[in-house]
Amino acid sequence: MNTYGRFPLELVRGRGVWVWDHQGRRYLDGVAGIAVCTLGHSNPVMRRALARQLRKLQHVSNLYRIPEQEQLAAWITANSCADAVFFCNSGAEANEGAIKLARKHGHQVRGISSEGAGPLILTAQASFHGRTLAAVTATGQPKYHQGFEPMVQGFRYFLYNDIAAFEALLTECEKDGPRVAAVMLEPLQGEGGVNPGNRAFFQRVRELCTEHNILLIFDEVQVGVGRTGRLWGYQKLGVEPDAFTLAKGLGGGFPIGALCVKAAVDHLRPGEHASTFGGNPLACRAGLTVAEELVRRKLPAHAEAMGQLLQEQLSALVARHPSLAEGSRGWGLLQGLVLREDGPAAIDVVKAAMNQGLLLVPAGTNVVRFVPPLTIQPRHIREAVKRLEKALIACQPQTPSAN
Ligand SMILES: *Cc1c(COP(=O)(O)O)cnc(C)c1O
């Protein structure tokens, strides 16, 4: 179906941070399948692990115990605030699970009756939570709702990082008694423009959620699994959620998603939620391999150092081209170059970068996003920024000279 406005680029091969098109042209990959290919392309450890798993067992169903799934869940719970994990296949699906969990929490813990409009979930404007019906309703961007109404009931929106707006909405929703089941937030808004969460804001939201027994859910689909320089995005904020979702980087290119919960909110009982493919042996082997390599190669710390270098290089680039770009922001290897309102559009810079052999992805209309493999090295970052500079210059408006 015609659901994507695709670039006329056909990629056929990859190795590390490089990909090749069908004509043999090489591109430095600053996209990594949109924050997915954590270990780069065609990683030898991943290749061997998946080949071995394919020879052993690929899929059985959650009718049975799956040791690879138990091991991956054990790794996640040993290394995060979560105590239990539900596996699925994508970010949207993980968030759908979180939304079901939130509603059950609303009914069971907060005693919100299903009469009237039922439990509410509060999410941020400019957020992104996926494209399935409830996840897209949670997404606070009207452009993604348009044409698909009626949206799912029970969502309200507030301005990200704005504590007054959040408190006002919470007060209004709760004026006649308990109504709010959950608050769902990205620690850093990725798709919405690479907007890092504000610590004070998140800490206050945490306090209010604790006070009212409201579930605090973090969507870590883009920021989780080492990308920000910490294993989980919430560690950048010093705030623990009650539940968080993962997908993108978890399988390093193999589809897998996860809903991770603390024991106190582990509300779903047998039969209440399921997935045929979710957490199958092959997907969990991919996740386990990402986890093992993340630890062995200390990739979160590496992402932090490489992110610092990228940030320095982007700041210098902005200083050289103040008429085109106004700044850069982000955490670790999730960085955005912010273009000037009167400068080139992000999509045009992305296209120009492609001509220079560099893959990047827009985040909204005026931010160009870098989400490379976590294995990227300093020489690649310097090369990427060189290519980006050539792309920016190519986007400069061709004003006729004054004389
Ligand atoms: C990409 C993304 C999603 C959706 O993930 P899919 O795997 O495409 O369904 C959800 N939330 C965030 C924060 C994302 O970046």
> Would strands 243-246 and 215-219 be described as parallel, antiparallel, or unpaired?
parallel
Q: Are 284 and 354 a contacting pair, CB within 8 Å?
A: no
**Is the CB of 191 within 6 Å of ligand 1?**
yes
Whether the CB of 186 sits within 6 Å of ligand 1: yes
**Nearest 5°: phi and psi at 179?**
-135, -25
- How many other C-beta atoms lie within 10 A of the C-beta of residue 107? 16
Q: How far apart are CA 130 and CA 24, in angstroms?
A: 34
CB 141 within 8 A of CB 127: yes
Contacts of 81 (CB under 8 A, 6+ apart): 234, 240, 241, 262
Q: Which domains does the chain have, with CATH numbers?
A: 11-37+298-395 (3.90.1150.10), 45-296 (3.40.640.10)
Establish whether 7 is a catalytic residue.
no
Tell me whether strands 361-362 and 367-370 are parallel, antiparallel or unpaired: antiparallel
Q: What whole-number distance in Å separates Cα of residue 339 and Cα of residue 364? A: 11
Residue 240 pLDDT: 98
Whether 219 is catalytic: yes
Please identify, by atom number, the ligand 1 atom nearest to the C-alpha of residue 92.
9
Helix 378-395 vs helix 299-320: angle between axes, to the nearest 10 degrees?
30
Ligand 1 centre from 229 Cα, in Å? 19
pLDDT in the model for residue 401? 55
CA-to-CA distance for 256 and 250, rounded, in angstroms? 7
**Tokens 């105590």 identify what position?**
83
Atom of ligand 1 nearest to the CA of 257: 7
**Residue 318 CB neighbour total at 10 angstroms:** 19
The reply to whether 128 belongs to the active site is yes
The tokens describing 187, both together, are: 């620690």
HSE-up of residue 9 (Cα within 13 Å, Cβ side): 22
Q: Closest Cα to residue 194, out of 126, 139, 148, 132?
A: 126
Residue 321, phi then psi, degrees to nearest 5: -130, 60
Q: What are phi and psi of 200, to 5 degrees?
A: -65, -40
Please tell me whether the peptide bond between 150 and the residue prior to it is cis, using omega within 30 degrees of 0. Answer: yes
Residue of 34, 123, 221 best suited for mutating to test ligand 1, as the one with most atoms within 8 Å of CB: 221
Residues 333/370, Cβ–Cβ less than 8 Å: yes
Which of the residues 87, 202, 219, 262 is marked catalytic? 219
pLDDT tens, residue order, the chain (403 aa): 999 999 999 999 999 999 999 999 999 999 999 999 999 999 999 999 999 999 999 999 999 999 999 999 999 999 999 999 999 999 999 999 999 999 999 999 999 987 777 999 999 999 999 999 999 999 999 999 999 999 999 999 999 999 999 999 999 999 999 999 999 999 999 999 999 999 999 999 999 999 999 999 999 999 999 999 999 999 999 999 999 999 999 999 999 999 999 999 999 999 999 999 999 999 999 999 999 999 999 999 999 999 999 999 999 999 999 999 999 999 999 999 999 999 999 999 999 999 999 999 999 999 999 999 999 999 999 999 999 999 999 998 766 554 4
Please tell me whether the overall predicted TM-score, pTM, comes out greater than 0.95 for this model. yes
Q: Confirm or reject: Cβ of 130 under 6 Å from ligand 1.
A: yes
Q: What pLDDT does residue 215 have?
A: 98
Q: Does 39 sit in the ligand 1 pocket, CB within 6 Å?
A: no
User: Which 3-state string (H, E, C) describes the chain?
Assistant: CCCCCCCCCCEEEEEECEEEECCCCEEEECCHHHHCCCCCECCHHHHHHHHHHHHHCCCCCCCCCCHHHHHHHHHHHHCCCCCEEEEECCHHHHHHHHHHHHHHHHHHCCCCCCCCCCCEEEEEECCCCCCCHHHHHHCECHHHCCCCCCCCCCEEEECCCCHHHHHHHHHHHCCCCCCEEEEEECCEECCCCCEECCHHHHHHHHHHHHHHCCEEEEECCCCCCCCCCCCCHHHHCCCCCCEEEECHHHHECECCEEEEECHHHCCCCCCCCCCCCCCCHHHHHHHHHHHHHHHHCCHHHHHHHHHHHHHHHHHHHHHHCCCCEEEEEEECCEEEEEECCCCCCHHHHHHHHHHCCEECEECCCCEEEECCCCCCCHHHHHHHHHHHHHHHHHHCCCCCCCC
Q: Is 187 in the pocket of ligand 1 (CB under 6 A)?
A: no
Residue 191 Cα to ligand 1 middle (Å): 9
